[in-house]
Structure 1
Amino acid sequence: MPPRERVWLAAAVIGWVAVNAAVLLLAPGHAPFDWPAQHDPPSGPGQVIAAQLALGELLLLAVVAYVLTRRRPNPAIAERVPPRPTAHRELWLLVAYGVLAQLGGLFLGRALGWHPIGFHLAGTLVGTADPVRPAEAIGWAGYNGLCYALLPYLWFRRRYTARQLCLRSADRRGDTVLILVVLALESLAQWAALGHAFAGLTAGQIALGAPVTFVLYLAGTVLPTVIFVQGLLVPRYARLTGSTTGTLVLGGLTYAALHVFEGWGRLGSPREFVLTILFVLLIYVLPGAFKTWLTVRTGNAWVHAWAYHAVAPHTMHDTGLVVRIFRL
């Protein structure tokens, strides 16, 4: 392993251990979050165990993705962006833009009497005791789709081709096989963890709610991840770090950072704020890194969207939430 990869790997391992230890230290019992959709109240030990299980699952999926793509030419996504000075400038402009978009979502959501507008609709994956109205759900999807997908795409598409933005497949058959295999495995994992994904819903509610959920989350989190994270930031991480491991680490951290203003987060005290950040890291760094792995292996940012985002987990997991919001 090259020295640069070893450094990034060591940093990732040390950081992961530190986050887990901090969660156990600050929340040895229940954590101050309201997760009504979960079987048990959130706790430090429970979340640490869940994170290690997720790590094992995603390592398995990463191996599967590697095996399915091992004979492909290297997509070399780092070469799709300009040399370092330009890539560096574009990266920091994107980071600054992302911070402003996050703060804008926080203040706009509060001004309208909603939850903060983050990368997930309030209640996603964990449920919420606070009511979410249709206007908030539509506003969340519209804000994120505009700020993180449409505007960045229009700006960069004037300068770069679809291939340079990782939005065009170089191997449609191979990408399709990879998508179907990962989607099948992840769907089975979701089913094993959650039981019947649509429990409590009638056939009519599923028929109406699943397409609405798919479209809502496509605009609100899937397309923003495809464009802003995987299409724009990840290739620049690859160019500037010169490291696959570094690219995965930064991709995972970026994905987690975009979820800081989750509807379940608590910012009222220093302990609550720190625990919110730590829980976000435990929950989202690994999925973000795996999404980045799929892009690095295929050069196609769409692969993660269909294999490990739009359908599983969101349509499977959040149709019940959308049915309740829209009273379907």
Structure 2
Amino acid sequence: MNDNTDFHLLKSLKNKAFLMGISLWLIATFFYFLFVHKGLNVSPIAIDGLNSLLTIYMPVLVLAVFLLLYLTRKREEVNWAELYAVKKSSAKKEAWLSLIYLIITQLILGAGFNMGLHFPGTDIYSTGSHSQVDVWVWAITYTIIYTILPLIWLKRRGFSLKKLFSSFKWMRDLWIIIVYWAIDFFGPILVGSADFFGGISVSQYAQGVPLGILVNSLGAGLPVVVMMHIIFIPRIAVLLESRLLVVLFGGLFYSIFSLFDQGVDYSTLSTGLTSFTYIIMTQTLVGMGKATFTVVTGNPFIHFITLHIISARVPFDTRMYIEIFKLK
């Protein structure tokens, strides 16, 4: 793997896989803005998409993808086949199977039971709108479908968590964890998109933060770690030469995981179209950021800290869980 493959866009454009992946994102982005321009009803999550794209998601792409790939360009390659028990001969088939499994289960859980990757699914949370039972049903369901069952499948193929954990280089990657955690944790607070301070006691913080991390880990964090970072990314990585391509397809995979996030609305054709295209447009970029942490470190848990459960989800969700669990 060389720097030219990752950082010279003109060379990447000649790659058919890159063209396919970037075309999917460009088509979704084009149609989102076309639908908005034509006056289609916009779902709650897709309101003011241009501002969100420019102020939130493009910075993620620049800082968490391009900058991090550049800063780690001299690192040794991750031995995906050895650490993740991937056979190149079956990697393509298994990557497709994981994608199909994700699509089918997301359609069943999201469309059938309103369970998205993040609680409370497509609903907009308000005080009293959801119960503790709702939280645990979501967390347990996602744990079984996206963590336990896939890990059983992986174990039968020779995957060893012990071997993977022994390969982590936490001290080498500490600067990545600290810098990107701070950006993702304080960013939503500073721009006012997360209601984290005010009206919450020290006792409520002390209970609500770890409880939120626990349930979000079960319902969202570990499912993404296993499905995307332990199954999908390593199999794509043994097939593609470019880290940037692996990151791109990792981002597209994550966007499928996000199809039933809070604020999407598939009840009508117009809101469904704006929801779907907005999710692909924005969550592909978020997923690319998540994928980059694994691609450059070989550690599927780095993103869990820097760009997911222990970072932004804490200011986003703590108040909600304090209310639902009636913490005093």
TM-score scaled to structure 1, two decimals? 0.83
**CA-to-partner distance for each residue in 1:84-105, whole Å, 9 max, x for gaps?**
4311222232223223322342
- In 2, Cα distance between the equivalents of 1:165 and 1:91? 21
* Match in the other structure for 2:116: 118
Q: 1:238 to 1:128 in 2, by over 3 A?
A: farther
Gaps of 5+ in 2: none
Q: Which residue of 1 aligns with 2:197?
A: 198
The letter of the residue matching 1:98 is L
What's the counterpart of residue 59 of structure 1? Answer: 62
TM-fit CA distance, 1:21: 3.0
- Comparing both chains, which one has the higher relative contact order based on Cα–Cα distances under 8 Å and sequence gaps of 6 or more? 2
* In 1: Cα distance, 2:316 partner to 2:292 partner: 23
Q: Contact 1:105–1:117 (CA<8 Å) still a contact in 2?
A: yes
Counterpart pick for 1:74 among 74, 77, 85: 77
Structure 1, residues 223-259: CA drift from partner, whole Å, max 9, x if none? 0111111110011112233332221121111111012
Amino acid at match of 1:243: S
Quick one: which amino acid aligns to residue 91 of structure 2? A
Match of 2:140?
A: 142
Q: What does residue 49 of structure 2 align with? A: 47
Q: Is the 8 A contact 1:191 1:197 kept in 2?
A: yes
Contact 2:252 2:284 in 1 (8 A): yes
The residue aligned with 1:157 is 155
Please state how far the C-alpha of 1:208 moved relative to its aligned partner: 1.7
Distance 1:16 1:89, change over 3 A: closer
TM superposition score normalised by structure 2: 0.83
Aligned position for 1:23: 32
Contact 2:123–2:262 under 8 Å retained in 1? no
Note closer, same or farther for the CA distance 1:202–1:33 as it changes in structure 2 (3 Å cut).
Answer: farther
Inter-CA distance 196–166: structure 2 relative to 1 (3 Å threshold): same
- How many residues align? The count is 314
RMSD across aligned positions (CA)? 3.0
Deviations 1:242-278 (A, max 9, x none): 3322211211111110121234222222222211111
Question: Residue type of the partner of 1:33?
Answer: S
Q: Give every structure 1 segment of 4 or more consecutive aligned residues whose post-TM-superposition deviation is greater than 6 Å.
A: 123-126
When residues 56 and 13 of structure 1 are mapped into structure 2, their CA distance, relative to the original with a 3 A threshold, is farther
Contact 2:98 2:232 in 1 (8 A): yes
Q: Which residue of 2 aligns with 1:244?
A: 243
What is the match of residue 322 of structure 2?
A: 323
Q: Which amino acid aligns with 2:184?
A: E
**C-alpha separation in 1, matches of 2:41 and 2:207:** 35
The one-letter amino acid of 2:51's match is I
CA displacement at 1:126 relative to structure 2: 6.4
Partner residue in 2 for 1:39: none
User: How far apart in 2 are the matches of 1:50 and 1:107?
Assistant: 25
